[in-house]
Copies of this chain bind each other. A is one copy, B any other.
C-alpha cells in the first residue's frame, strides 16, 4: 500500500507491505483521516515520548524513530475483511471509526503511533474489532473523521466536572478546544469563555456554543469579565500544548481554581509547585477519549447537535501530507485538514 510515513523526524510517501489482519483485527480501507497537532509535535518532540514510554512502560515504547510509521489517528474507512477466526461485528463494505487503540496481548498500541498498526495516512489500516464503531450512512466521510478529535474535547470537558457555579475558560480553539466548547455547551450549565489569538477561531467557538470569545492580547481572560457581570473564570481548559503554558496559567488562575490540561505538550514543563500550592489549585490531566466519548461524539454529529462542518478545510492526497503537517497552525489555517489516501498523490 501507499502511505505517508514519519521517519527520522520527516514525512515521506512510501510503498509499504499491505498490513495483514490477525484474529480480532479488521482490515480497513481508509476514506478520510484528520491531521492532528500531535502528529506535528511528534516530529520534533517524539523522542521525549518514546524515552518516557520506555521508562514508564507506555504504548510508545516500541517506536523506533529511525523506522517508518504511518501517522493518523482520526480516521474513517470501509471494512474489507477480518483476520481468520474473528467475530466480524461490522459487515465488509460498511464504514467504521474507532478509538485509536489496538490491544496486543496484555498491552496496547496506539494506532498511528506504532510500526504494527498503521494510521489513516495510509491506504489500509488494521483496527481492533472490539472497538469498531459503525458510522451511520448519511454521515459524510470527512465529518466522520472528526468524531475522534471531537471525542477528545468531550472527554476533556467531562473531566473538568463543570458545575453550576463554575465559569469555564477554554484556551485555544483548535479542534480539541472547539470540542471542549461543544462538550460544555452540551452539558448546558456553564458560562463558556473561549480565548484564541485568531478571529476565525473565535468565530467558530461562538458557533460551537461559547458565550463570549476573546483575544487574550486584548482582554485579560482572568480578570473580571464585563460581559459576564464582572465574574471571573475558575475552571480553565488548556488546549494549546506549548511549553510554558502550564506555569503561565498557574500564575494567572484564581485561588481554588481547577485546570484541565488537555494540550499534549511533549517538552518538559518547568513548574513551581509552591505557586500552585499558594492557590490550592487542582490540575486534572486529560488524555483522550474513551469509548463513551466516541459514542457521544458520533451521535452528536449525526443528529446535528454539534456541527463540525465549519471545522473542515482542505482535503488532500498523500503527497501533500508533509507540507500540510508543516503548516497545521497559524493565521488562516483551517481547524482540520483531512487526508484521503484514495486521491491522486499530490
Contact = CB atoms under 8 A, between A and B. Distances in A.
Interface of A: 48-49, 52, 55-56, 58-59, 159, 241, 246, 251, 261-266, 268-288
Contact of A281 (B251, B266, B278, B285): B285
- A interface, over-half SS: mixed
B273 A270 contact: no
Contacts of A52: 251, 272, 274-275
10 contacts: A52-B272, A241-B273, A264-B274, A268-B272, A269-B272, A270-B270, A276-B285, A279-B285, A280-B287, A282-B285
Q: What number of copies of this chain does the assembly contain?
A: 2
Given A265-B273, A271-B271, 12 more contacts: A59-B278, A241-B273, A265-B274, A266-B272, A269-B273, A276-B285, A277-B285, A277-B287, A279-B285, A280-B287, A282-B285, A283-B283
A269 B159 CA distance: 25
A280 B272 contact: no
B287 A284 contact: no
Nearest to A159: B280
A141 to B, nearest CB: 29
Contact of A266 (B159, B274, B279): B274
Nearest to A45: B274
B56 A275 contact: yes
A243 B80 CA distance: 53
- Top 10 closest pairs, chain A to chain B, by CB: A277-B287, A276-B285, A268-B270, A277-B285, A265-B273, A271-B271, A283-B283, A269-B271, A56-B251, A281-B285
Contacts of A271: 246, 268-271
Nearest to A58: B278
Of A55, A281, A287, chain B has the most CB atoms within 10 Å of the CB of A287
A192 B252 CA distance: 35
A277 B251 contact: no
A50 to B, nearest CB: 11
Nearest to A259: B283
A66 to B, nearest CB: 22
B280 A282 contact: no
Contact of A277 (B59, B261, B277, B282): B261
B273 A261 contact: yes
Of A266, A269, A281, A285, chain B has the most CB atoms within 10 Å of the CB of A285
A262 to B, nearest CB: 8
Nearest to A48: B272
A183 to B, nearest CB: 16
A276 B251 CA distance: 20
Of A241, A263, A268, chain B has the most CB atoms within 10 Å of the CB of A268
Contact of A273 (B264, B272, B273, B278): B264
B269 A277 contact: no
Of A275, A276, A286, chain B has the most CB atoms within 10 Å of the CB of A275
Given A263-B273, A272-B268, A286 B282 contact: no
B285 A49 contact: no
B280 A286 contact: yes
A260 to B, nearest CB: 10
Of A251, A272, A276, chain B has the most CB atoms within 10 Å of the CB of A272
